[in-house]
Structure 1
Amino acid sequence: MYVHHTSKITAFERPSKFTDVMTKGHFRYFAHQHLFETTVNETLMIDILTYKIPFSIFGKVFDYFFLKKHLSNFLKHGNFQLKGQLENNYHHL
């Protein structure tokens, strides 16, 4: 499933967090907050996704049975890819 939308970074506090909010797309509202917590040996990235879907009860049913799981898997896959790229680049320094 491909959903195209345009987002704008609306908040940025380097190095601890940033938020992007959908400006154009199919959701009624879509915001993705990225939080970073650093310890001595690692950086933890936390994603907080907030969204509202259109289509009233049909949208809620679609969200319950499909969309919520799809978005969770999408974030996990993206984070796994990002982790691999960052670790690979770090080892080549």
Structure 2
Amino acid sequence: MIDFKKHSGIHSIKTEQVLNIPLGKAWDFFSSPGNLEEITPLNMGFQITSELNKKVYAGQVITYKIGILPGIKSSWVTEITQLKNQEYFIDEQRFGPYKMWHHEHWFKALPNGKTLMKDEISYKVPFGIIGSLAQQIFIRKKLKSIFEYRYAALERMFNGG
């Protein structure tokens, strides 16, 4: 499920997915930044450029290169601003393609060893009316395709799909 909304010039995306793995295994996977490449479309040219610790921690700064348009790469710097072990972590853009990016990753143990994973993203596009037009024409579609790809990748990896 992917839900898009807009409020006060800020766009939000909410996704959720049940994974057929226990909470500890889900947390281990998602709290290891190096695994992000496995669930990101190849055509984005996504590359982590900072040294990585095994697990995320509050205050950690992670740098990336991403393809924002064909042939155009952008640097992206995020910080893990908050973390509660096996419950949630939040990354926020410090520098990058958005005017604002706030991404909450939530995890909850379910019966029978499954995990509910939720993402809540709030973002604002730059460049005023030009950015708003870009949001309508391709940014929303691009983000939708990224989260659809991620959903399918996680289904294959953890749900036998």
TM over 0.5: yes
1:77 aligns with 2:149: yes
The runs of at least 4 aligned residues of structure 1 exceeding 2 Å deviation read 78-88
Residue 26 of structure 1 aligns with which residue?
97
CA distance in 1, matches of 2:155, 2:133: 33
Specify every segment of 5 or more residues in structure 1 that has no aligned partner in the other structure, as ranges.
89-93
Q: Which has the higher strand share?
A: 2
Alignment-mate amino acid for residue 73 of structure 1: S
Q: 1:37-64 CA distances to partner (integer Å, 9 max, x unpaired)?
A: 2111210111111111111111111112
**How many residues are aligned here?**
88
- Gap runs ≥5 in structure 2: 1-43, 45-66, 69-73
User: Where do 1:59-74 residues align within 5 Å?
Assistant: 59-74=131-146
Structure number having the greater helix percentage: 1
Q: Distance in 2 between matches of 1:87 and 1:36?
A: 16
Q: Give the structure 1 partner of residue 127 of structure 2.
A: 55
CA distance in 1, matches of 2:137, 2:99: 19
Question: Whose relative contact order is higher, 1 or 2, with alpha carbons under 8 Å and at least 6 apart?
Answer: 2
